Amino acid sequence: MFHCNPLLIKLKKQLNGKKLRVKGVVKSTKKGFGFLEVNSNKNYLIPQCFMNKVMHGDKITAVVRIENSREIVEPETLLEPFLMRFVGQVQIKNDFISLIPECSLINKTIPAYSHNVKASFHCGDWVVAEMRHHPLKGDQQFYAEITEWISTKNDCLAPWWIILARHGLERTAPEMPEELIQPDDFHRKDLTALDFITIDSDRTEDIDDAIYISDAPNGAWTLTVAIADPTAWIPEASKLDLIACKRAFTNYLPGFKISMLPQKLSDDLCSFHPYKRRLALVCRIIIHKDGILSEDIQFFTAWIQSKAKLAYNHVSDWLEDIGEWQPENDVIIRQIRLLHAIFKSRSAWRSHNALIFKDQINYRFIFDEPGKVRDIVIEPRRIANRMIEEVMIAANICAARVLRDKCGYGVYNIHKGFDPKLIDKAILILRNNNIDAKAEELLTMNGFCALRRQLNTLPTTYIDSRIRRFQSFVKISTEPGPHFGLGVDVYITWTSPIRKYGDMLNHRFLKKLIKTNVTERLDEKIILILDERRRKNRIAERDIKNWLYATFLQHQAGNNNLFISKIIDVRRRGMRVQLLDNGAMAFVPISFIHNIENEIICNQETGIIYVKGKERFRQADTIKITITDVCIKTHTIIARPI
């Protein structure tokens, strides 16, 4: 039947005249053959005999042929290799080293050599390698060079080291310079007599903020926020400054952190430990009883001394009248009460005029020993967390306004709400759910905030989850701009300078304004560094969590234990769910929802799954699932709805 196909006859005529070449991406299969994906609607078979020339993910050109009345392609030119720098596991046979790439999409074993890495390799070791030879470059076979040794097979921290190496991230905090740099020559106010307090997790050592509150006329409060001042120890463009710039953030991972700064600075010299005299950059602002921030904002440098290190859970328990913890004295009680009053005033103002954060669930991994997860517990944002968050947001708004008005630039966080190119799709979803909306209103901050406040009153997060994909991302900018997600006209962060390099830069801008009222514009390249490093850190944290979740839950596969889960996303072949007890993500295949494929529709546009024309599941629903399979290699969890 195929030899009479007019399309094939036409193609044969074309091929007889000249070679037909196509460009695409290689997709491998477990059966040995592959496909060249040219676009979403067209792909060509790559026979098994040609797959030894290419790697899954390679971007190539290929020559189209007709064999047995079927179109196939033979790889010809490498345009862009998929595998360049990669993590692999060592295999040794007859004294020859080969690597199994730590990538579930690649099932090749790659011969390797090592010239510059001084290590004795053993089977199962993890290493970093770079591809040096490729068959489409004229080489006989794939060949890689080992460039870095990572860990042994049985290292309990191997998941951390492997993923950090995969993303090119550091494993330890930077070293402290041999000669300790003396603090800068700022004239600082002595505020050590004031009753500053800190509230953090009871495990926190890098304590970077302290507060002191006093009464002001007409029911207002004077809020003094002191922030640790690492720029006093780190000169601009110094070796340590360049290291901090490269790292950009302290990397918080399950089980431990990797500091942006030497721990001697972050956990000691800059940290507001009780009764230690410390350098600070200070913001002083009057907050009126209706929650409005005064326009009279003061920034100055100072010496402070914290009078108490308090813990979120203890303060929350005390305010909620549970537990046994009590503040040590009346001074601490007064500071907590004043902070609570400011919190209620500010959050009430923001709930009507801007936006407030909905409470989110945080999950913490608890380890019996390094690398072994004993449990995963829920850590809700309690009242004390929200109180500190509220005053830090106020301090950040104040700094943003000062930098905008006095120099016109800084390291700003910008969020402009809905993407104008996608606004019509968001409006369609809203109208289909009986919410009237107009593009010209939603593209303004007031309109965006009004919609967010309305969505927060709904019984489910379905509509909210559907329209979030049409919003723009928060970005870092040197130019001031609005932050729709907070409902404020301008926003920066400066309250975590020992954890964020962008906050350190904003410290320098503020201190230059204090000292000389003159600042220098920031190099735009730094913004790119901050964006890229934040992305890498987030991906690394996600990858490590997925690895730990798979290891922690593998014994649950097939035992029929029930887990309450929330549908996060609906996809063409199933849905993603989050287990609410521990935060793990799982995938529910379409075959587990209904076993007759033509009777089920997974509508990605609406986020609804239909079975026999009737709605079965929708995004944001809470359902019960069991875990059917856990793949340790890919760190994926497969679940079945009950």
Q: Which residues are catalytic?
A: 200, 206, 208-209, 312, 499
Q: Burial level of 375, CB count in 10 A (0-12/13-18/19+)?
A: exposed
Type of residue at 463: I
Structure tokens at 521: 């514009």
Structure tokens at 460: 């489910």
- Classify 342 as helix, strand or coil: helix
The span from the CA of 361 to the CA of 350, in Å, is 21
The answer to whether the beta carbons of residues 240 and 177 sit under 8 Å apart is: yes
The span from the CA of 351 to the CA of 330, in Å, is 31
Type of residue at 292: I
Type of residue at 92: I
Structure tokens at 572: 């063409």
Which residues lie below 8 Å from residue 510, measured CB to CB, with a gap of 6+? 281, 299, 399, 402, 403, 494
Q: Could you tell me which of 42, 56, 49, 38 has the C-alpha nearest to residue 74?
A: 49
β-bridge pairing 293-311 and 277-287:
antiparallel
The span from the CA of 57 to the CA of 49, in Å, is 18
What angle (nearest 5°) sits at the alpha carbon of residue 207, between those of residues 201 and 211? Answer: 95
Q: Could you tell me which of 352, 350, 422 has the C-alpha nearest to residue 390?
A: 350
Neighbour count for residue 217 (Cβ, 10 Å): 7
Q: How many residues does the chain have?
A: 642
Phi, psi at 155, each rounded to 5° = -60, 125
Q: Burial level of 632, CB count in 10 A (0-12/13-18/19+)?
A: exposed
Structure tokens at 189: 């106010």
> Which value, in Å, is the radius of gyration of the alpha carbons in the chain?
29
Q: How far is CA 641 from CA 249, 455, 501, 586, in A?
A: 39, 28, 44, 11
The answer to whether the beta carbons of residues 62 and 97 sit under 8 Å apart is: no
DSSP conformation letters of 42-72: EEEEE-GGGGGG--TT-EEEEEEEEETTEEE
